[in-house]
Structure 1
Amino acid sequence: MKKRIQFSKAFVPAAILSFVVIVVGIINICTRGINFSIDFKPGYIEEVKISSNPSVEDVRAALSGVSGVAVKMVGTGEALAYQIRVGEDKSNEAIIDTINAALEKAYPDGSVTVLKTDFIGNQLSHSLAFQSVLLLVGTMLCIWIYSSIRFRWDFALGAIIALIHDSLIMFSFLAIFQVEFSTTSIAAVLTIIGYSINDTVVILDRVRENIQTLEVKNFKEVIDQSLSDTLSRSIITTVTTLFAVVSLYVFTSGTIHDFAWALIIGLLSGCYSSVFISSGFISFVRKNWKPEFGLHAFTKPEPKTDF
């Protein structure tokens, strides 16, 4: 007999814990708001080329006297440039003059060339935020359709609830710790959605297999056995991925550092939700499941033949 851990006993406490964390996150969002980066704020974007090709950290240091500035590299080789963004509620070209003066002071002798300057208004920044939310919803909808085709409706809904849980947990931690939310954070959320659904599908595949082969009294036993069978895989996959993500968190800075921080939270939440949230919901929906019907839960019954 394979070892069976009683995961089902922790379903309710895990749901309560998640509920508390999400409520605390929502309260922080309502009271303190989300620390949006200038990706979602009106302001200026300027691209400059510097002949000496300094590191992005050096450019940030040169602009340290200008508040609310974000710098990142764009392009490679001869096309290498620096994109400078600064939040500004209304058009104010003086801020661009301040940025250019700081760059010319740090890199004299005409080594700084301004490639382009644009102003992003409120409407465009709000449109970007709306498109980001639409992207998340569209991704989850596609995953729900896929899960519904591959499994039954309750399995698909359990998987989607786990993904919504992971997204809310990440937003809660971003709000609680006031970590800057940028387009990189959107990439982190989408990465975790893909990671979490993969982990959930592996568990659901084992549940589907065990439904047809295990001799059990109730559906909780099927869930417990399936989670026990896949536990080592879930832990090993999460831990090995965390090695790389923690390295990014420790040895990088700026947006990559925040990206790695969000991934760490998401990886832990994804593993946790696949085991407790998704499985707990499916177990609740199938609480009246009877073993004698388990053999045909996912297959068509053979037609009876009278002799």
Structure 2
Amino acid sequence: MKKIISFSKFFVPCIILSIGLIAFGIIGYFTKGINFGIDFQAGFIEKVKIAPTAVELSYEGPLTVSFSQGISDISITTTSLDGENKSYVFKFADNPTLKDFADGLASIDGLKVKVTASGNVLLKNLFSNSESSSRLSANVFRLHHLEKGLKPINTDEVRHALSSIPSVSVQQLGTPEDRYFQIRLADDGKYEDANKELRSIINTALNAAYGTENIAVISTDFVGSRFSSSLAQQAILLVGGALVLIFVYAMFRFQWNFSLAAIIALLHDTLIMIMFISWTQMEFNSTTIAAILTIIGYSINDTIVIFDRIREKIQLEPKLECNEVLDKALSEVFTRTIITTLTTMVAVVALYLFTTDSMKDFALALIVGLISGTYSSIYVASYFIALTSKGKKAGEMITRGKKAPGELSGAVI
């Protein structure tokens, strides 16, 4: 006979724990706020590396000379007046160092090369300013590198450099070897060309603090207030609509207290994820909404499987006390629930370990959601059923939609 675990003994302590975590999240919301991404906050975002110049390129001559950098090489393409192209490809495998690259460039007439870093710097570690034109001219084109052994610039230093700009936010991202800063400036609606003017405000302050030769813009993004507001409304409607449909489904399959218990468990999972996002200052963007919806779908399936087993036990043993039937049902599905969660967790952890940026955040949010979803299906949803069925025998817990023993609800097991 399967061992019966007394889950009901832990209902109240677990609810107290959940209330404490959610209260902790509310404190985080009011003290730290939510790090809204560009999807939900109108304004300008710039990702920038503060790194010294490794080499300067310039060209004066009749040809059109362009620069491009790929995953495995750097190429210089020259185009003559009659349209004839010639490409010089410097593969990282064949030209591993900056010195090798500079020596190879000497064969291109009119191209001036000024190496400002050690010739031993790895060529694959160089990067350019995304705002610089890829067409080489008399204006200096710079390739930067993050110098090893050099004391890294921290977030507080960048914030101090931008302290003259109201409401600017700075976040350090990436690995220590490939660190960069994400700078966000909200659009308050007073700029005629917000994209251009906000970009200029940030870059002027950075150039003044660190010098133009030490700034490499990796990427920029801008979202207008109308679009961000519309996207936020759609996200709220999407999550709200999902909860309403789930409530109706659970009401149809079971009854009102089961349905409400499922929604409370889902709201619990959503709040726990938002609490985690608030305290870690993970960027809240459309990927985060996808993670929340994924967990809502995963958690409701888990909850429905448990509810189905509870109903089956009620049919089989209607004279048991409410907590007894809950303990029996939860004990029977506990192994299935844990194995399913761990199997899913393996894939999500792999996603977290082997991806970067938004996908890494997505995986981390899923990990938190999976843990919360499993916990809430067992303790939060079941506690609400116990609370609304207090003093009742098992046979009195469901008053409608009774099924023959063993009949399935259609939940994925």
Could you tell me which residue of structure 2 aligns to residue 27 of structure 1? 27
Query: 2:356 matched to 1:256?
Result: no
Identify the residue that residue 9 of structure 2 maps to in structure 1. 9
Change (3 A) 1:144 1:53: farther
Cα displacement (A) at 1:288: 2.4
Partner deviation per Cα, 1:117-144 (whole Å, 9 max, x = no partner): 9953223212212221121111100111
Question: Quick one: distance in 2 between partners of 1:161 and 1:202?
Answer: 16
Answer whether contact 1:39 1:125 (CA < 8 A) is retained.
yes
3-state secondary structure, aligned to 2:39? helix
Following superposition, the deviation at residue 86 of structure 1 comes to 6.7
Mapped pair 1:144 → 2:247: yes
Q: Deviations over 1:91-118 (max 9, x none)?
A: 14152897xxx9xx98xxxxxxxxxx99
Matched AA of 1:10: F
Residue 289 of structure 1: CA displacement? 1.5
Which one has the largest radius of gyration? 2
Q: Deviations over 1:43-69 (max 9, x none)?
A: 3599xxx976559xx999855999979
Aligned to 2:229: 126
Deviations 1:248-295 (A, max 9, x none): 111111000100110000000000000000001001101122245469
Distance 2:45 2:27 in 1: 33
Match for 2:309 among 193, 198, 206?
Answer: 206
Same amino acid, percent of matched pairs: 48
* Alpha-carbon separation, structure 2, partners of 1:141 and 1:292: 28
CA distance in 1 between partners of 2:243 and 2:6 (Å): 30
Report the alpha carbon displacement of residue 39 of structure 1 after superposing the two structures with TM.
Answer: 1.6
Aligned to 1:290: 393
Gapped runs of 5+ residues in structure 2? 47-66, 73-124, 131-143, 147-157, 159-168, 172-182, 204-211, 405-413
Tell me by how many angstroms 1:28 deviates.
Answer: 1.0
Residue identity opposite 2:27 in structure 1: I
Aligned residue for 1:75? Answer: none
Once residues 71 and 185 of structure 2 are traced to their aligned partners in structure 1, the CA distance between those partners, rounded to angstroms, is: 24
Q: Is 1:18 aligned with 2:10?
A: no
Task: Give, in angstroms, the shift of residue 300 of structure 1.
Answer: 8.8
Letter in 2 for 1:122: S
Root mean square deviation of aligned Cα: 3.8
Cα distance in 1 between the residues matched to 2:379 and 2:127: 43
Alpha-carbon offset, residue 218 of structure 1: 0.7
Aligned to 1:180: 283
Counterparts in 2 of 1:44-123, with a 5 A limit? 54=71, 62=129, 87-89=185-187, 90=191, 91-93=194-196, 95=199, 120-123=223-226
Structure 2 length-normalised TM: 0.58
How far apart are residue 38 of structure 1 and its match?
1.5
Counterpart of 2:269, as a letter, is: D
| 1:277 match | 380
2:315–2:395 CA contact under 8 A, matched in 1: no
Contact 2:250 2:258 in 1 (8 A): yes
* Deviating more after overlay: 28-37 vs 272-281: 28-37
Check conservation: 1:43, 1:88, Cα contact below 8 A: yes
Distance 2:257 2:282 in 1: 35
For residues 310 and 170 of structure 2, the distance between their equivalents in structure 1, rounded to whole angstroms, comes to 50
Q: Residue 82 of structure 1 aligns with which residue? A: none
CA contact (8 A) 1:45 1:119 kept: yes
Q: TM-score, normalised by structure 1?
A: 0.77
Deviation of 1:155 after TM superposition, in Å, equals 0.7
What is the rounded CA distance, in whole Å, between the counterparts of 2:346 and 2:393 in structure 1? 43
Contact 1:148–1:155, Cα closer than 8 Å, also in 2: yes
Q: Distance in 1 between matches of 2:398 and 2:371?
A: 34
Contact 1:43–1:86, Cα closer than 8 Å, also in 2: yes
Asked if structure 2 preserves the Cα contact closer than 8 Å seen for 1:208 and 1:298, the reply is no
Equivalence for 2:332: 229
Partner of 2:368: 265
Going from structure 1 to structure 2, the CA distance change for 1:222 and 1:16 (only over 3 Å counts) comes to: same
Q: Which secondary structure does the structure 2 equivalent of 1:180 belong to?
A: coil
Alignment partners' CA distance in 1, 2:10 and 2:397: 24
Q: Deviations over 1:218-259 (max 9, x none)?
A: 111111011000001100000011111111111111000100
- The residue type paired with residue 223 of structure 2 is I
3-state SS of the aligned residue for 1:5? coil
Contact preservation (8 Å) 1:216, 1:222:
no
Select the structure that is richer in strand: 2
Distance 1:35 1:119, change over 3 A: closer
The separation in 1 between residues aligned to 2:400 and 2:264, in whole angstroms, is 22
**1:153 corresponds to:** 256
Contact in 2 for aligned 1:41/1:87 (Cα 8 Å): no
The match for 1:304 is none
Which secondary structure state, in structure 1, belongs to the residue aligned with residue 4 of structure 2? Answer: coil
Quick one: distance in 2 between partners of 1:68 and 1:53? 28
* Greater alpha carbon shift after TM alignment, 122-131 vs 254-263: 122-131
